[in-house]
Chains A and B, each alone.
Chain A
Amino acid sequence: MAADSKIHFTTHLSDRGLNNEERDQQVRDLFEKIQSLTGIDAPRYVAEVGTDGHRSGIEIAQLEADRLRPLLRLIGDRLDKTPLEMQIILQVGSTYLQTQTHKSEEVLAMLPLAERLLPKHLVYEGKAEAYARRSGFTPVEQANLEMLRYRLDLNPDEARAIQAKALGPYETLEHSLERYEQVLSQEIQRQYPLSEETEAELKRLQESLGLTYEDITEIRDKHLFRAQTDQKQVDDLKARITQLQTTITQLQQPQPDPEDRAEPSARDRYQQAFRQIIQTTLYPSDFDRGRLEQARQIWQLSPDEVAALEQSITDELYGPIKSSKGVDYRRLRQLLWSQQWQEADRETERVMLQAGSQDMRPLSSSLLNSFPCVDLITVDGLWQRYSGGRYGFEPQRQVYAAESSIADFLRVLGWQDSWGWGGIIKVTRAYSELQFREGAPKGHLPTWRWACTTLESAYTIGSAEIDTFFERLNQCLPSKSSSLS
C-alpha cells in the first residue's frame, strides 16, 4: 500500500533557445541539485534522441509523496533565476499530470493537484511508517508529520489513528521488549520448563514485535536463570518442611504420657529447642519463633518463665549483659554480633552515658571514678567477645600499661598522631576519620566518644580522664598482670 503513495516524476528541458550542449549542462546542474535533496531515491539522468531532436531530462521512478514539494520548489527557484522552458510529468497511479512552462508559479501549482490525486491518508501513513521503523517519533519527526497533516488537510484524529497504526501497539523498542519480558515471565510462571509449543509461540511473538535475537537474549537469560533458582528453592523448602514436620511429630509424641520415668521436664525440652535455634543466630526467624511459641503452649510454660530461660541461654551463648543501672545492652550485643562497628561504637556511647552519667553529660574523671563495675565489665566483655580480643577496654589497658606517656598511648591506639619528645607535636583526628572495621590497631575500638566535648573538629580525650578510667578498671577487674605480681 505504501507503493501507491509514490509518484513517478519526469522532467525535460524543452527550451528551444539552447543548443544541445547548453541544455545538457543545465540538466546536469539540476540533477546535482536534486541529488543533494534528502530522501529522494535514485534520480536518473535520461538522454534520448527522438524525432523532435535531442532531449535530456531527469526521471525519478519512486518519489515519496512528501518529497514532491521540495523538488518542485527547487525547480521553481531555478526558473526564477533562469527562466527556461521545462516539461514536467507526474504520474500518480494511472493518472498523468503534465505541464510545460518557464514560470515557477505554474510548477508549484502542480503540487496541490498531485496531492489531491494521492489518497491523503496513504501519503501520511507512508511517512509515518518510514519514521516508525525502529523507535517512536522524535520531536522533529512529529513536527514534520504535523506539517504534512496540515497540508493534506487531514483532521487530527485521523492523523493520530494513522500514527498509532504505523507504530503498532508497542511504540518503542523498549515497549516491545517490555511486552516480550512480560509474556515470557507469565509463561514461566504458568509452566517451567517451557514446552516446545510455547517456545515456538514466543518466537512468533518476538518476530511480530520486530525484535532481534540479540534484543531478547538478555531478558531470556535473566528470566530462565531466575526460574531455575526459584525451582531449586522450592525443592529445598519442601524438603525442609517435611523434615520439620517429622521433628514436630517427634516432639509431640511423648505428650500423652507425661508421668513417664526419665522423661526430661518441659523446661529442659524448651531450653534444648531454644538452644538449638539460637545456636546459629541471634535473630531467630519468624518461623522458628512460631515453632517456639507452639512448643511453649504444648508444654504449658508461662511467657515469663520462657523469657527468663531464653535470656540465660542467650547470655551463655552471646555474652552476659548485666547492668547495675538498668541499662539495656541488647542492641549493643546485636550490633557487635553483626560486626557493625561504627553503629556499635555510637551505641557504646549511649550505654556508657546512661550507666555512668546524668543527663547524658560526657564522662569526666569524677564520674569515671564511680562508674559501675558491672556495666564496665559488660561493655568490655561484649567488645572483646566479638572482636576476638582485639577491641575492648582490656586491650586498651594493655596498651596503657605498655606505653610510657599519654601521647604514646593515643598514638598506639591510632587515635592521635604525635611526634617529638614526649609527643610534643600533636595532630588530632576527626572522629569520622577513625577506623570502624576489623583490623584497626589493637584497642582502637571502642572509642571514648563518651568522654569528648567535640568529635568532628577533634577527637581528643583529657589525660585526667584516661588515668582515672584505668584506675577504675583496675578496681573493677584486676588485670592479669597485676594479679600475678
Chain B
Amino acid sequence: MQTTIPALDYQDLDNLLSEQDWEAADRLSADLLRQAVSPDQPVDLDLAAIAHLPCNDLHRLDQLWTHYSGQRFGFSVQQQIYTALECDAVQFSHEVGWTPWTFRPFAFFRFYHQLDFSLEAPRGQFPAFWFWQLPLNGSLLAGGFGSGRGAGYVDAKKLDALILRLERCSLQ
C-alpha cells in the first residue's frame, strides 16, 4: 500500500561511531531520524513524527550506538534508564547529564556544545541531538532563546514520545 521507501544509508554513521566521533555521529543520527520519517523532504522531529518513526530504523540506529559505545549510549539504554526512573523526565535529564543541576521544579538543559562528547559521558547521554534540535518557535516555547534546547527548562514531551515509540516497536 505504500511506496517503497529507499532504505537509509547507515554506512557513514557506522564509520563515525567506529571512530568514536560521538558529536558528528549524534548530529547525523538526528538527520537520519528525520529522513526516516519522510525521505523526500526532511521534517522537524515533532511528536507526531516521532510516533511514526519506522521501527526498523530505530532498531538499526540503536544497534549501532549500543555496539560502538559498549552499551553506554543508545535509545534502548535511554529507555531503560527512563523506565527505571518511573518515567520521571527531570530525574532522567539529570541522570544522563542533559541538565547540569536539578532543583525541582527548576532544571535547565545544557547548551548542546556543553555535553561531554566522550565515553566518560554519563550513561545514556547520547543520542541527544534529536532532542536538542528544535525549530525557532519550538525553542522559544521550550524556554530557550532560539538556541535549540539549550537553557530551556525541562520539557519531557519529546523524550516521552520517543520512549513510547520504542515501547510500541518492542510490542511487535
Contact = CB atoms under 8 A, between A and B. Distances in A.
Interface of A: 349-350, 353, 359-362, 430, 432, 452-458
Contacts of B160: 454-457
Interface stretch (B50-58, B93-101, B143-151): B50-58
B48 to A, nearest CB: 6
A452 B55 contact: no
Given A359-B54, A359-B55, A432-B87, A454 B171 contact: no
A478 B132 CA distance: 48
Contacts of B157: 454, 457-458
A430 B88 CA distance: 11
Contacts of A454: 47, 156-157, 160-161, 164
B89 A457 contact: yes
B43 interface: no
B172 interface: yes
A372 to B, nearest CB: 15
Nearest to A357: B168
Contact of A350 (B47, B156, B171): B171
Nearest to A430: B87
Contacts of A350: 171
Contacts of A452: 164
Contact of B164 (A359, A430, A432, A453): A453
B78 to A, nearest CB: 14
A458 B161 CA distance: 10
Contacts of A432: 86-87
A464 to B, nearest CB: 12
B169 interface: yes
Given A349-B171, A360-B169, A454-B164, 13 more contacts: A353-B171, A360-B171, A430-B87, A453-B50, A454-B160, A454-B161, A455-B164, A456-B89, A456-B160, A457-B155, A457-B156, A457-B157, A457-B160
Given A455-B164, A457-B160, A361 B51 contact: yes
Interface in B128-162: 155-157, 160-161
Contacts of B51: 361-362, 453
28 contacts: A349-B168, A350-B171, A353-B168, A359-B54, A359-B169, A360-B55, A360-B168, A360-B172, A361-B51, A362-B51, A362-B168, A432-B87, A452-B164, A453-B47, A453-B50, A453-B51, A453-B161, A453-B164, A454-B157, A454-B161, A454-B164, A455-B160, A456-B87, A456-B156, A457-B155, A457-B156, A457-B157, A458-B157
Interface string B50-69: 11101100000000000000
Contacts of A457: 89, 155-157, 160
A432 B52 CA distance: 23
A96 B168 CA distance: 92
B82 to A, nearest CB: 9
Contacts of A361: 51-52, 168
B155 to A, nearest CB: 8
Contacts of B155: 457
A353 B164 CA distance: 13
B77 to A, nearest CB: 18
- Name A's interface SS: loop
Contacts of A453: 47-48, 50-51, 161, 164
Interface in B1-46: none
B118 to A, nearest CB: 30
Contacts of A359: 54-55, 169, 172
A350 to B, nearest CB: 5
B91 to A, nearest CB: 12
A455 B155 CA distance: 13
A362 B163 CA distance: 13
User: Which of A353, A360, A362, A455 has the most chain B CB atoms inside 10 A of its CB?
Assistant: A360
A457 B159 CA distance: 9
Nearest to B87: A456
Contacts of A430: 87
Nearest to A452: B164
A456 B51 CA distance: 14
By CB atoms of chain A within 10 A, which of B161, B168, B172 has the most? B168
B159 to A, nearest CB: 8
Contacts of B87: 430, 432, 456
4 closest A-B pairs by CB: A360-B168, A456-B87, A453-B47, A453-B51
A216 B164 CA distance: 55
A479 B48 CA distance: 32
Contacts of A458: 157
A454 B60 CA distance: 23
A454 B161 CA distance: 5
Contacts of B163: 456
B98 to A, nearest CB: 15
Nearest to B49: A453
A452 B161 CA distance: 9
Nearest to A361: B52
Interface string B103-135: 000000000000000000000000000000000
A362 B165 CA distance: 9
B119 to A, nearest CB: 30
A2 B111 CA distance: 78
A457 B47 CA distance: 12
Contacts of A349: 168, 171
A358 to B, nearest CB: 8
A453 B156 CA distance: 12
A457 B50 CA distance: 15
Nearest to A455: B164
A28 B124 CA distance: 76
